[in-house]
């Protein structure tokens, strides 16, 4: 079976890397891919949102499975379009992708179907929203409805900060139409875990849990990023009864069925482990997490292509998913200045040497082929250095050993990836 992966980041490199190990895979393509992916798959220059062109390519090459990485094509309806053309695709319908695409849709969905989540009110009027935050007091969370490049959630420590967020979102329209509606939400306190599950709309299979590090600086300081590293498993979940996590997915799946929403793909739950109320759902993403994928996939002891095909075909019930006992850790190497402005085109050195360490894989995120066969930086998050090891401590040691062999101008990374987990153990 030929397989196409859509996307070009570290998550997609991990997907291609794992799918390449499948006994089902005869040839891999990636649109548009990156230089790391190009070592494993044929990269085709089609944009992830050019849906008709992707479908034409799939039809022409007789590709048997398409796996979607990013949310944009899912929110634009790629799964519905492929289904209409009878092309097999792993990813939810446009209606299902609203669980990520619209925070108002998803919040209403959680409340309607009894999914444990924070108290919230929805507003289309800035004055009414301001009155609400004054009544509730701080800390309080303000969320723009639509996709806002990860910047649409403001955890306000003061009422003034919350009012500023409301003005920015609704009156200044800093996120455009994504701010036509907003949510004022109770601020939940606890540790966050990323729990992904595959679902074919009939049943679900929960994947090994992960945690990511969102802030740029050590000890969770500085601005938010797309994710500076991740690890799996997550000691923070050790004491949480598994049925409390299952309950979140059970209610979600039942809700999808009740509402007649076709969902065949990944449900990625951002869960706050609260002291008083147990696990509470913060949000869903309709895709694999980045960089969580880079640590969850290396731990899979099953054929990912088989699982994705079963998910797309509504046959996930036939699959059992097994996991490797080793832990995985991913350290993201980012460009100097990220998440603010940063330079591109810096030459990356000693990549291959690092990847030859046992258990280590270097996933490309923001890279490009430069002159004379060099690989150069081409994004904020450049590489995801991932290691499998004996426990979290073993994986951390290996990952940083590999990091020490990689260099580019301005390279920055966190020194404390998985530190939270090590302290706990």
**How many Å apart are CA 106 and CA 261, to the nearest integer?**
13
- Does position 339 interact with ligand GLY (CB under 6 A)? The reply is no
> Nearest Cα to 248, choosing from 194, 168, 167, 303?
194
When CB distances are held under 5 to 8 angstroms depending on the partner's kind, the choice from ligand GLY, ligand AMP, none that residue 12 binds is none
- From first CA to last CA, the distance across the chain in angstroms is 43
Q: Give the nearest distance from C-beta 154 to ligand GLY in angstroms.
A: 17
Q: What is the 3-state secondary structure (H, E, C) of 353-376?
A: HHHCCCCEEEEECCEEECHHHCEE
- Does position 292 interact with ligand GLY (CB under 6 A)? The reply is yes
* Segment contacting ligand GLY by CB under 6 A, of 133-141, 251-259, 283-291, 416-424: 283-291
Q: Is 240 left (phi over 0), alpha (psi -120 to 50) or beta?
A: beta
Selected binder of ligand AMP within 32, 270, 370, 394 (CB under 6 A) = 270
User: How far is CA 403 from each of CA 71, 100, 327, 355, 413, rounded to the nearest angstrom?
Assistant: 29, 33, 17, 10, 9
- Does position 253 interact with ligand AMP (CB under 6 A)? The reply is no
Structure tokens at 22: 């499948």
Q: Give the nearest distance from C-beta 163 to ligand AMP in angstroms.
A: 18
When CB distances are held under 5 to 8 angstroms depending on the partner's kind, the choice from ligand AMP, ligand GLY, none that residue 101 binds is none
**How many Å apart are CA 150 and CA 140, to the nearest integer?**
18
Which residues fall within 8 angstroms of residue 345, CB to CB, at 6 or more apart? 368, 370, 376, 377, 378
Contact indicator for 98, 71 with CB cutoff of 8 Å? no
Q: How far does CA 51 lie from the centroid of its chain?
A: 21
Q: Give the nearest distance from C-beta 210 to ligand GLY in angstroms.
A: 9
- Does position 289 interact with ligand GLY (CB under 6 A)? The reply is yes
Structure tokens at 93: 């319908």
- Does position 283 interact with ligand GLY (CB under 6 A)? The reply is no
- Closer to ligand GLY by CB, 22 or 225: give it: 225
User: How far is CA 308 from each of CA 1, 5, 98, 231, 255, rounded to the nearest angstrom?
Assistant: 12, 11, 21, 23, 22
- Does position 248 interact with ligand AMP (CB under 6 A)? The reply is no
**How many Å apart are CA 45 and CA 31, to the nearest integer?**
6
When CB distances are held under 5 to 8 angstroms depending on the partner's kind, the choice from ligand GLY, ligand AMP, none that residue 283 binds is ligand AMP
* Segment contacting ligand AMP by CB under 6 A, of 160-168, 179-187, 307-315, 397-405: 179-187
- Does position 285 interact with ligand GLY (CB under 6 A)? The reply is yes
**How many Å apart are CA 37 and CA 369, to the nearest integer?**
12
- Does position 155 interact with ligand AMP (CB under 6 A)? The reply is yes
Selected binder of ligand GLY within 290, 303, 306, 326 (CB under 6 A) = 290
Structure tokens at 78: 């790629």
**How many Å apart are CA 334 and CA 329, to the nearest integer?**
16
When CB distances are held under 5 to 8 angstroms depending on the partner's kind, the choice from ligand GLY, ligand AMP, none that residue 290 binds is ligand GLY
* Segment contacting ligand AMP by CB under 6 A, of 6-14, 17-25, 157-165, 183-191: 183-191
- Does position 38 interact with ligand AMP (CB under 6 A)? The reply is no
Contact indicator for 370, 376 with CB cutoff of 8 Å? yes
Q: Give the nearest distance from C-beta 91 to ligand AMP in angstroms.
A: 19
Question: Please, how many CA atoms are within 13 Å of residue 350, restricted to the half-sphere of its CB?
Answer: 12
When CB distances are held under 5 to 8 angstroms depending on the partner's kind, the choice from ligand GLY, ligand AMP, none that residue 321 binds is none
Selected binder of ligand AMP within 92, 118, 265, 366 (CB under 6 A) = 118
Selected binder of ligand AMP within 153, 159, 174, 319 (CB under 6 A) = 153
Structure tokens at 298: 């290396």
> Nearest Cα to 211, choosing from 107, 327, 318?
327
Residue with tokens 């455009």: 176
Which residues from 194-253 bind ligand GLY, rule CB under 6 A?
A: 212, 227
**How many Å apart are CA 29 and CA 22, to the nearest integer?**
14
Q: Give the nearest distance from C-beta 383 to ligand AMP in angstroms.
A: 23
Quickly count: other Cβ atoms within 10 Å of residue 220's Cβ.
15
Total of chain residues touching ligand AMP, rule CB under 6 A: 12
What does DSSP assign to residue 117? B
Total of chain residues touching ligand GLY, rule CB under 6 A: 6
- Closer to ligand GLY by CB, 192 or 218: give it: 192
Selected binder of ligand AMP within 14, 141, 327, 334 (CB under 6 A) = 141
Name the residue whose CB lies closest to ligand AMP.
283
Which residues from 185-204 bind ligand AMP, rule CB under 6 A?
A: 185-188, 192
Residues that bind ligand GLY (CB under 6 A): 212, 227, 285, 289-290, 292
Residues that bind ligand AMP (CB under 6 A): 118, 141, 153, 155, 185-188, 192, 270, 282-283
């Amino acid at each position: 079976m030929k397989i196409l992966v859509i996307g070009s980041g570290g998550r997609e490199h991990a997907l291609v890397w794992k799918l390449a190990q499948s006994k089902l895979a005869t040839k891999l393509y990636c649109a548009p891919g990156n230089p790391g992916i190009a070592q494993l798959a044929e990269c085709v220059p089609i944009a992830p949102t050019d849906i008709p062109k992707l479908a034409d390519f799939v039809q022409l090459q007789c590709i048997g499975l398409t796996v979607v990485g990013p949310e944009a094509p899912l929110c634009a309806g790629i799964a519905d379009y492929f289904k209409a053309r009878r092309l097999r695709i792993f990813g939810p319908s446009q209606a299902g992708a609203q669980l990520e695409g619209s925070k108002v849709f998803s919040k209403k969905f959680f409340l309607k179907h009894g999914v444990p989540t924070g108290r919230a009110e929805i507003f289309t009027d800035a004055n009414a929203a301001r009155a609400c935050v004054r009544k509730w007091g701080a800390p309080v969370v303000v969320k723009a409805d639509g996709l806002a490049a990860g910047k649409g959630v403001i955890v306000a420590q003061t009422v003034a900060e919350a009012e500023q967020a409301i003005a920015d979102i609704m009156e200044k329209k800093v996120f455009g139409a994504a701010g036509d509606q907003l949510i004022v939400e109770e601020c939940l306190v606890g540790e966050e875990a990323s729990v992904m599950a595959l679902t074919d709309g009939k049943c679900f299979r929960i994947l090994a849990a992960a945690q990511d590090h969102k802030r740029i600086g050590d000890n969770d300081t500085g601005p938010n990023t797309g994710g500076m590293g991740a690890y799996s498993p997550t000691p923070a979940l050790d004491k949480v009864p598994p049925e409390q996590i299952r309950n979140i997915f059970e209610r979600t799946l039942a809700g999808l069925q009740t509402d007649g929403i076709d969902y065949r793909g990944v449900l990625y739950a951002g869960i706050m482990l609260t002291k008083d109320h147990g696990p509470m759902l913060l949000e869903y993403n309709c895709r694999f997490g980045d960089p969580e994928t880079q640590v969850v996939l290396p731990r899979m002891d099953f054929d990912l292509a088989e699982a994705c095909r079963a998910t797309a075909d509504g046959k996930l019930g036939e699959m059992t998913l097994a996991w490797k006992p080793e832990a995985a850790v991913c350290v993201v190497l980012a460009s100097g200045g990220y998440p603010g402005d940063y330079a591109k085109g810096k030459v990356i050195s000693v990549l291959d040497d690092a990847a030859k360490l046992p258990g280590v894989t270097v996933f490309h995120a923001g890279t490009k082929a430069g002159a004379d066969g060099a690989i150069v930086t081409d994004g904020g998050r450049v590489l995801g250095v991932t290691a499998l090891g004996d426990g979290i401590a073993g994986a951390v040691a290996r990952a940083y050993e590999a990091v020490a062999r990689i260099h580019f101008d301005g390279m920055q990374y966190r020194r404390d990836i998985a530190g939270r987990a090590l302290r706990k153990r």
